Amino acid sequence: MSNVFPRQITNPPIKAVSSDGCYIIDENGKQYFDGSGGAAVSCLGHGDPDVIKAVQDQTSKMAFAHTGFFSSDPAEELAELLIDNAPGELDRVYFVSGGSEAIEAAIKLARQFHIENGEPSRHHIIARKQSYHGNTLGALAAGGNKWRRNQFEPILIDASHISPCYEYVDKLKEETSFDYGQRVAQELEDEILRLGTDKVMAFIVEPVVGATMGAVPAVPGYFKKVRNICDKYGVLLILDEVMCGMGRTGHLFASEFDEIAPDILCIAKGLGAGYQPIGAMLCSKNIYNRLGKGSGFFQHGHTYMGHPVACAAALAVLKAILNRKLLSSIKSKSNQLFNCLETQLGHHPNIGDIRGRGLFIGIEIVKNIETKKPFDPNLKVAASIKHAAFEAGLICYPMSGTRDGKWGDHILLAPPFIINENQIIELVNKLSISIESLK
Ligand SMILES: Cc1ncc(COP(=O)(O)O)c(C=O)c1O
């Protein structure tokens, strides 16, 4: 008998009892390769001695001091290192306990900024269809995944959802990738004009879409146009790098690839790498100074924000990513993993697309690769691959609803950055076995 409220009431999980490197071991001694780092969390793998030591040291020195009274060395040092490496004018870091909290803080900061900037009519969020920004009410309202939103719709704030940049499915044959990107980015300007140029406070977007679409990056030129439109209309650009940030794509911040900088940026997951629950919202000097010269405070806060032990863990993770030169090794490991996937799965009749960036890879499963038609949702293809993979000793992150929240299936891979050559082969072999179970 368990008193834990699990995710799936009808199918509660077995217990994990230990973990080591890229593996998690269950209560029966079975070993699983962690091919998705849980959900793009465990970027350093399990049992990293430096992070464990940082947590132990900070816990014995000072586990907690409320941020209403104190800052702490780990929070200060972590903020400085993040800002030293962050794009554009990002200047301040607001530490929270996870991704949804970071998004909530971003939405509220955008609203408060516009009020203190003399534009109180700005309150509308624009986001994209098929995005995921978290499960708290503000973050869920921003997200564009119908399945996640449906039953909560009556209690969500209003948000507009424009098309994602989803080249595999939506680019017209006669269009170049660039033109396609410009076309879908134009929807942002059209929506701002439709709502009223004095009404929109922020556009929120994942640089590489994770859970809901399976590692979908934008085409070249898309984000430059988005940035220009936001600047033209005074709309804040919030980048959600909760899943794709912190080195996952081979860049510390995913948006570096697109050569743009946001006004607000959210990170979590790989920031604490699973050693502690932590997220962060980074904002520009301009936003911070506006509040500084105005009300002098941000009307927000959580008990555990800036938790010293969480910050100490994240500081050790960030130092590991930077000092162990993991970002450059991600690029070569990414090539190996893509090659291996292409060789073993590229000719499979149901593998429509293998995409992504760095160690953030999506595999889209289709019924027919010519027409790109997905499987009937009633077949629950993603769920059966997840089950088969788990049986085969592989943790990956399959999801249905890739196309519109209902149709489509994909598998997301986000292995630890420490994955080695043999483990890449192990991952792809186990994944192939799981996909074969489709027949
Ligand atoms: C892009 C993105 N934003 C926000 C979140 C929410 O993060 P959390 O689950 O830590 O609240 C997630 C979680 O998967 C995510 O992928």
pLDDT category, 106, cuts 50, 70, 90?
very high
Task: Please determine, for residue 82, whether its predicted confidence score (pLDDT) is greater than 80.
Answer: yes
Pocket mutation for ligand 1, best pick of 133, 208, 212, 304 (most atoms within 8 Å of C-beta): 133
Q: Does residue 242's CB lie within 6 angstroms of at least one atom of ligand 1?
A: yes
| pLDDT digits 0-9 by tens, 258-274 | 999 999 999 999 999 99
pLDDT at 438: 79
Question: What spacing in Å lies between the alpha carbon of 134 and ligand 1's midpoint?
Answer: 5
| pLDDT digits 0-9 by tens, 285-328 | 999 999 999 999 999 999 999 999 999 999 999 999 999 999 99
Q: Does residue 268's CB lie within 6 angstroms of at least one atom of ligand 1?
A: yes
Q: Does residue 360's CB lie within 6 angstroms of at least one atom of ligand 1?
A: no
pLDDT at 437: 81
Across the range 160-171, mean pLDDT stands at 98
Q: What percent of the chain has pLDDT over 70?
A: 100
Question: What spacing in Å lies between the alpha carbon of 408 and ligand 1's midpoint?
Answer: 21
Q: Does residue 131's CB lie within 6 angstroms of at least one atom of ligand 1?
A: no
C-alpha neighbours within 13 Å on the C-beta side of residue 17: 7
| pLDDT digits 0-9 by tens, 109-139 | 999 999 999 999 999 999 999 999 999 999 9
Across the range 151-178, mean pLDDT stands at 97
Nearest Cα residue to atom 8 of ligand 1: 99
Q: Does residue 244's CB lie within 6 angstroms of at least one atom of ligand 1?
A: no
Structure tokens at 142: 């921003």
pLDDT at 1: 86
365, containing H or E segment:
strand 360-365
Q: Does residue 352's CB lie within 6 angstroms of at least one atom of ligand 1?
A: no
C-alpha neighbours within 13 Å on the C-beta side of residue 56: 7
Q: Does residue 434's CB lie within 6 angstroms of at least one atom of ligand 1?
A: no
Distances (CA, A) of 76 to 72, 87, 237, 291, 312: 6, 19, 25, 20, 10
Nearest Cα residue to atom 5 of ligand 1: 134
Which domains occur in the chain, in start order? 16-47+325-438 (3.90.1150.10), 52-323 (3.40.640.10)
3-state secondary structure of 329: helix
Task: Please determine, for residue 439, whether its predicted confidence score (pLDDT) is greater than 80.
Answer: no
Question: What spacing in Å lies between the alpha carbon of 135 and ligand 1's midpoint?
Answer: 8
Q: Does residue 238's CB lie within 6 angstroms of at least one atom of ligand 1?
A: no
Question: What spacing in Å lies between the alpha carbon of 191 and ligand 1's midpoint?
Answer: 25
How many angstroms separate the CA atoms of 182 and 223, rounded?
9
| pLDDT digits 0-9 by tens, 417-433 | 999 999 999 999 999 99
Across the range 44-53, mean pLDDT stands at 98
What global pTM score does this model have? 0.98
Question: What spacing in Å lies between the alpha carbon of 267 and ligand 1's midpoint?
Answer: 9
Find residue 203's DSSP bridge partners. 126, 237
| pLDDT digits 0-9 by tens, 173-182 | 999 999 999 9
Across the range 84-92, mean pLDDT stands at 98
pLDDT at 375: 98
Compute how many other C-beta atoms are within 10 angstroms of the C-beta atom of residue 234: 15
Question: What spacing in Å lies between the alpha carbon of 426 and ligand 1's midpoint?
Answer: 28
pLDDT category, 89, cuts 50, 70, 90?
very high
Pocket mutation for ligand 1, best pick of 140, 269, 304 (most atoms within 8 Å of C-beta): 269
Query: Is 424 within 8 Å of 333 (Cβ atoms)?
Result: yes
Nearest Cα residue to atom 3 of ligand 1: 133
Nearest Cα residue to atom 10 of ligand 1: 99
The ligand 1 atom at the shortest distance from the C-alpha of residue 103 is: 4
pLDDT category, 407, cuts 50, 70, 90?
very high
